[in-house]
Amino acid sequence: MSLGLYLKGQFAQKEGAPEKRVFDRATLEEFEKWLSNVAFEELEWTQWTEDDEGNPCLMMQLHPGAEPMMLSNCEDGALLLAAATSSAGPGYHIFVCDLIRKMGQVHKLEWITDDEVEFYDETGYFETGDKERLYEEFATWIGALTARVQELSRDGAKFHLAMPFDGHQFDVPEPILTQLGPRTMEWLEAVSQEPSSGFDIFPWWEDGHGAEYHLGRAVCYMWNAVRWRDPLTENEAELLQSVLTHLDLAYNLDPDLKYPWQEWFEILSYLGCQYEQADMVREMAGRAGREEHLPVGYRRHEVRKNLGGGWSVVIPGDFVEELEEGQTFLAFDETRNVRVTCMSATDTSGNSLSAEDILKKIKVFDDPLKYEQGAVVGRAYFEEVTEPDSAFFMLRGVTAASGTFTQVTVCFELDEQRQWAIDTWRSLDHRSSHWPKS
């Protein structure tokens, strides 16, 4: 349930041209270079992948609160452009439409919209440029979404509302999570009745790059990406600096917006740098500290990280996260780390092994720690590791479900962290193992 663009593009055919140009990897790389230059300030990252037929797909993240935009091949060799925009807001939708129109002009592309074959802008904006209708479509969408969530939430479940899925589930007590902070059930009920009261969950609501855009981008980072401690990597330091830059730009454009003063000052303390507005931010943070205030930042709490293949694990929200050699998940801080590798398990005929058979084949220890949660079972043991320049404890474990298993190590320095290591290992879960069998 989302709003977005699903367009088909083709090169304008020149009269007498010998053949129709196709959208191969080289052509998509031209688009990547152009888009990266034109949208340099907005671009988060680009990534190459493949579709089911092995065709190249270019993924581009243009806002921290949006799903990646995808460029790939259609079956007939034309260009497919897909961009879900509802999580970021109508301002982002306008930006993407303007960007791809410019790309079409520069590269002589013709964009095809056809409802019958599902190539269209769901808001109608790409075809009409009607901003009033665009905002009405977003209001209708958020009203319908909150009404639906209100129906589903009666069993006490939590919902990530209008949040792009990046593989994390945040652990906070509030029932409704948005990328600009949690909301209450009372808020949900109010928005289902009056959608305009829910516009505050979109980080890019207004058209253009005004103060609201910069503040929305900064707060989006702060809620979802910032680790609330001193940076441990260059990327973390760059992220904190980006937050400061957007806060500065927003304040210079409109000092009367509602700013997260305490968190702004907190980030300044992490970077420890000279900052022109430090005294002002410190003063405003002190005033805000006397008010009731929910600290910004989901990563102040634990998060559940999706590892792929149905597996997930709970880690501290301020851990650095990386992939080692493309398959082992690594999360760490200065004294602890967690490594998880997910694998499939079949017999010689290609049939899935049961969890019990997997554990029989992987000998863990004579008297291991044991863990069972429904169809998910695990075994683990502790060892003490002494190296020339360090000594630490390590939990080694295996957790299995039908046809799949994970190997995990949890390293820590203090004996009192032993229970944390056990809890981390036991948090490994396999989602599909809990689905009812048909």
In 182-210, alpha helices (H): 185-193
- pLDDT-derived band at 426 (thresholds 50, 70, 90) equals very high
What pLDDT does residue 88 have? 96
Residue range 356-383, pLDDT digits in tens: 899 888 876 667 899 898 889 999 999 9
What pLDDT does residue 6 have? 92
Distance CA 87, CA 204 (A): 9
Domain ranges of the chain: 4-132, 154-288, 304-434
CATH number of 154-288: 1.25.40
* Strand (E) or helix (H) holding 302: strand 302-308
What pLDDT does residue 18 have? 55
Reply yes or no on whether the pLDDT at 410 is more than 70: yes
What pLDDT does residue 24 have? 87
What pLDDT does residue 119 have? 78
Residue range 52-71, pLDDT digits in tens: 888 899 999 999 999 999 99
Residue range 251-299, pLDDT digits in tens: 999 999 999 999 999 999 999 877 888 889 999 998 887 666 789 999 9
Distance CA 412, CA 390 (A): 11
- Helix (H, G, I), strand (E, B), or coil: what is residue 161? coil
Give the highest mean pLDDT range of 168-177, 370-379, 421-430.
421-430
What pLDDT does residue 277 have? 84
- pLDDT-derived band at 435 (thresholds 50, 70, 90) equals very low
What is the DSSP secondary structure assignment for residue 426, as one 8-state letter?
A: H
Reply yes or no on whether the pLDDT at 20 is more than 80: no
Q: What is the fold, at CATH topology level, of the domain defined by 4-132? A: TATA-Binding Protein (3.30.310)
φ/ψ of 38, rounded to 5, equals -70, -40
Give mean pLDDT, residues 339-362.
89
- Homologous superfamily (CATH) for 304-434: Mog1/PsbP, alpha/beta/alpha sandwich (3.40.1000.10)
Reply yes or no on whether the pLDDT at 1 is more than 90: no
Burial of 197 (0-12, 13-18, 19+ CB in 10 A): middle
Residue range 75-129, pLDDT digits in tens: 777 899 999 999 999 999 999 999 999 999 999 999 987 655 577 888 999 999 9
Tokens of 269: 């303390």
What pLDDT does residue 288 have? 81
